[in-house]
Structure 1
Amino acid sequence: MQRRDFVHQSLLAGGALLTSTVAEAAKGKTDTSSLSEKPFNLDYAFHDGMFKNHGGDDFIEQIKFAHSMGFRSIEDNGMMGRSVDQQKKIGETLAKLGMRMGVFVITSQNWHWKTSLTSGKQEFIDLMIKDCKEAVEVAKRCGAKWMTVVPGNYERSLSHEYQTANVINALRKGSEILEPHGLVMVLEALSDNPDLFLRHTDQTYMICQAVGSPSCKFLFDMYHMQRNEGNIIANIDKTWSETPYFQIGDNPGRNEPGTGEMNYRNIFRHIHSKGYKGILGMEHGNAGKGKEGELALIKAYRDADNFLANPPR
């Protein structure tokens, strides 16, 4: 099949899915017409369950609904735990709709919540290698490029410097597996637990620089960084060369933009002004419940995103 024929057929298929979704939405009691617009200026990625009241429990149907609302990406932390058939179906749906797959968590056994890569123990290095190899196959099925890695908890029997060296060595081994496939592990600094080793932008930036691979970069989760250090826009600039992926969540509450103290209008405008073409994962909950809560979430993103094109004078 010629490339132009393939693209043409994909667009037709995507249009059919979109038409079907809008028609189904029209049968319901909620009016989504005012929110169903062209794609957003930035590429926001929702996750399974975020639109379940409109799309149902089936993630595929949620994807179709979100596409009709202008979203063009998803992320799915638990992708590695889905069946091979589900992974393929999600990938095929995204391809038909012209959407992108964001991050999934590269680890299959939640070992990152325990003392792990920081310890330098071979058992964790072996698990890292195993999971990276499996992640390559998962990425092929669902069309992913980015995958989340968290090094683990602080190992208090070792100095910070030894732990850092252990993490760098382990990540280099993982990068060797991913790099030939053009895949990228993105390191997420977190605020959930003070025992976690990776917590700050400068720390993550330094590790990425030390690993020195295009397959090891920084996942800048703005909710976690607001809690740990603040100064979001300045730190975005400082870590820009190592940051191919962002995640969103207002603080406090970890819900959509506009529900907390963070000025996402200005943050989005700054990221957009730097020419960012990557994905921003909607790594948060819904402030409201039911269909009304989902529509409020979409409106919050429209309000913040429209600010990029129409800032106040």
Structure 2
Amino acid sequence: MKRSDFIKNSGLLFGSSLLAPAVSQATVKEKDTKLGDPFRLDYGPHQGMFSASAGKNFLDEIKYMHDLGFRSIEDNGMPGRTVDEQRKVGELLAKLGMRMGVFVVPKGGNGANTLAAGKQEHIDIFLKGCRDSIEVAKRVNAKWITVVPGDYERRLPIGVQTANVIEGLKRGAELLEPHGITMVLEPLSDTPDLFLRFTDQAYEICKAVNSPSCKILYDAYHQQKNEGNLINFMDQCWSEIAYVQVGDNPGRKEPTTGEINYKNVFKWLHNKGYKGIVGMEHGMSKGGKEGEDALVKAYREVDNF
């Protein structure tokens, strides 16, 4: 129905004064979300998400991401790239005004070396990973690095394991603080053997470490699987959350493909004043150029809150 017909048929002249600003706001919002404009939140894709359009070269793909409106990237495997490539990525990001998101600390805690065990050789491996990460971070101007404490050491009481993790992370924080780098602890859902799985658990550990260089990486995909109640848990633990990642569940694909209401989650983050990166830590529901277009469309949709 045409707007004029609606007003005429309803006979409510007052209604026209209410409808006018609503139409105006809708028009402005549509203009604000055209292709290429920056998003309201700072979403960070990773390599391969736009290779069908931009090619296999990471630098070309970063430029293409910028053209689409993205202002950050992630690259878990950045420490494995050559020093020359790291520097080129850092220089390009600076030129484009983009930010570097997280990369994973090399051997920063896994099933083979877990901080929960309290063994010196495991702590040494972790601290070496922190030192190596500092050098990588300098080249790409990274401010956040991902740490997973590793698996349970089931021969020890849970309180002792927690204390061991805290003590190990304190050592890492001492190395990172002078460089303004924050390790973000990521609770995961991949296996029940993982020591760190829940938001409140990560919150307790970060409070105990008591350092600006030890905070939480909140991955909504993992926490939807582990505990649900996303907004409530984020709100309760907000003071220790420094970084956010997303992926829909089930499937770990882009928003709108699963059960998580990401428009509401992103609206909450925006209203909370979150200025950090929202890492796109997920796969894609479709391949090729079609999948890339669907990915951008999905993020435009959930960013339009």
Aligned to 2:262: 264
DSSP 3-state at the match of 1:154? coil
Partners of 1:121 and 1:264 in 2: how far apart? 41
Aligned to 2:171: 173
Aligned to 1:43: 42
DSSP 3-state at the match of 1:164? helix
Give every structure 1 segment of 4 or more consecutive aligned residues whose post-TM-superposition deviation is greater than 2 Å.
34-37
Alignment gaps of 5+ in structure 1:
1-33, 308-313
Partners of 2:216 and 2:175 in 1: how far apart? 18
CA deviation map 1:241-264 (0-9, x unaligned): 001100000000001100000000
DSSP 3-state at the match of 2:175? helix
Among candidates 134, 143, 146, match of residue 145 of structure 1: 143
Q: How does 1:116-265 map to 2 (within 5 A)?
A: 116-265=114-263
Tell me the TM-score normalised to structure 2 length. 0.88
Aligned to 2:9: none
Which amino acid in 1 is paired with 2:193?
D
Whose Rg is larger?
Answer: 2
Aligned to 2:8: none
DSSP 3-state at the match of 1:220? strand
CA contact under 8 A between 1:76 and 1:102: conserved in structure 2? yes
Q: Displacement of 1:104 after TM fit?
A: 0.3
Which amino acid in 2 is paired with 1:215?
S
Residues 1:89 and 2:88 aligned together: yes
Partners of 1:177 and 1:101 in 2: how far apart? 20
Partners of 1:213 and 1:278 in 2: how far apart? 18
CA deviation map 1:78-136 (0-9, x unaligned): 001111001001001100000000000012x4751335101000111111111111111
Which amino acid in 2 is paired with 1:48?
Q
Partners of 2:53 and 2:130 in 1: how far apart? 35
Which amino acid in 1 is paired with 2:54?
G
DSSP 3-state at the match of 2:126? helix
Which amino acid in 2 is paired with 1:303?
E
- The size of the alignment, in residue pairs, is 273
CA contact under 8 A between 1:87 and 1:141: conserved in structure 2? yes
Partners of 1:248 and 1:208 in 2: how far apart? 21
CA contact under 8 A between 1:35 and 1:299: conserved in structure 2? no
Identical aligned residues as a percent: 61
Q: How does 1:283-302 map to 2 (within 5 A)?
A: 283-302=281-300
Aligned to 1:63: 62
Relative to structure 1, the CA distance from residue 113 to residue 52 in structure 2 (aligned partners, 3 Å threshold; closer, same or farther) is farther
Which amino acid in 2 is paired with 1:105?
V
Q: Displacement of 1:287 after TM fit?
A: 0.8
Partners of 2:248 and 2:176 in 1: how far apart? 32
Partners of 2:173 and 2:114 in 1: how far apart? 17
CA contact under 8 A between 1:115 and 1:154: conserved in structure 2? no
Q: How does 1:106-117 map to 2 (within 5 A)?
A: 106-107=105-106, 109=107, 111-117=109-115
Partners of 1:296 and 1:142 in 2: how far apart? 29
Partners of 2:137 and 2:177 in 1: how far apart? 13
